[in-house]
Amino acid sequence: MDPDAVAKAFVEHYYSTFDANRAGLANLYQEGSMLTFEGQKIQGSQSIVAKLTSLPFQQCKHNITTVDYQPSGSGGMLVFVSGNLQLAGEQHALKFSQMFHLMPTPQGSFYVLNDIFRLNYA
Amino acid sequence: MDPDAVAKAFVEHYYSTFDANRAGLANLYQEGSMLTFEGQKIQGSQSIVAKLTSLPFQQCKHNITTVDYQPSGSGGMLVFVSGNLQLAGEQHALKFSQMFHLMPTPQGSFYVLNDIFRLNYA
């Protein structure tokens, strides 16, 4: 599988799902998945999606600026993203950085083992 | 080993070495190590240090804002850093984000398998 295509397809799928229907992200995570969101540690698909769906904004739009990726040495792939997050009704977009560690599933797909998100305050 | 202590000690060591003597970073990398620096892919300790020592500034100071970490599922640790990079003679600091994948060595230490660096332009 072409890692460049995997990284780009994942990023497109992740953020378009986030912006349209956050609950739809559940099947990208598994029980061992970890999210660190602005320093808060959350584990497991159900808890992660509960966090994402309870964020204090309804509509948002991620605009991606950069996508970098590397093999992680265990069949997985590290994907590093930077971009802007536009919240509905807010004048200024928020800059963010996020990294994912994608691991292969037996079905030939990937799930998110590690996810770390940070807003880059000015 | 306490992962919180490992992550903080690594970050302190990495950036203080970078700011004082970039060539001293060589022993944190191995032949299979990967650096993606502002989208440019570099592999191997020697090439990585050649890149870092050839950056077009002499003196700099990293100020760290956040450090997050997670186990990577293969005995390694992911460390995600955000902060500011102050270049000598420049008025404004540059914001950056960087992620490292630390892997254990047989000697009980860690080396950097993956390193992705991005400046967060305004």
Q: Is the pLDDT of residue B122 over 60?
A: no
Which residue on chain A is closest to B94 by alpha carbon?
A122
Q: What is the DSSP letter of B44?
A: S
Q: Mean pLDDT, to the nearest integer, of A29-49?
A: 98
Judge: A68–B97 Cβ closer than 8 Å, yes or no: no
Structural domain total, chain B: 1
B72-107: per-residue pLDDT in tens? 998 999 999 999 999 998 888 999 999 999 999 999
Residues of A in contact with B116 (CB under 8 A): 68, 70, 78, 80, 99
Judge: B99–A95 Cβ closer than 8 Å, yes or no: no
A68-112: per-residue pLDDT in tens? 999 999 899 999 999 999 999 888 899 999 999 999 999 989 999
What tokens were used for A15?
């953020």
Q: What is the CATH number of the domain that holds B30?
A: 3.10.450.50
DSSP codes, A34-97: EEEETTEEEESHHHHHHHHHTSS-S-EEEEEEEEEEEE-SSS-EEEEEEEEEEETT-SSPEEEE
Q: Mean pLDDT, to the nearest integer, of B34-53?
A: 98
Which residue on chain A is closest to B101 by alpha carbon?
A72
Q: Mean pLDDT, to the nearest integer, of B64-71?
A: 97
**Chain A interface residues (partner B, CB cutoff 8 A):** 32, 34, 36, 39, 65-66, 68, 70-74, 76, 78, 80, 82, 95, 97, 99, 101, 103, 113-114, 116, 118, 120-122
| pTM, entire model | 0.96
Q: Mean pLDDT, to the nearest integer, of A55-74?
A: 94
What is the distance between the alpha carbons of residues A27 and A66, in angstroms, rounded to a whole number? Answer: 25
ipTM exceeding 0.85?
yes
Domain enclosing residue A33, as ranges: 3-119
What pLDDT, on a 0 to 100 scale, did the predictor assign at position A3? 92
Residue owning tokens 């003597």: B21
Residues of B in contact with A68 (CB under 8 A): 36, 39, 116, 118
* Helix, strand, or coil (residue B67): strand
Judge: B113–A73 Cβ closer than 8 Å, yes or no: yes
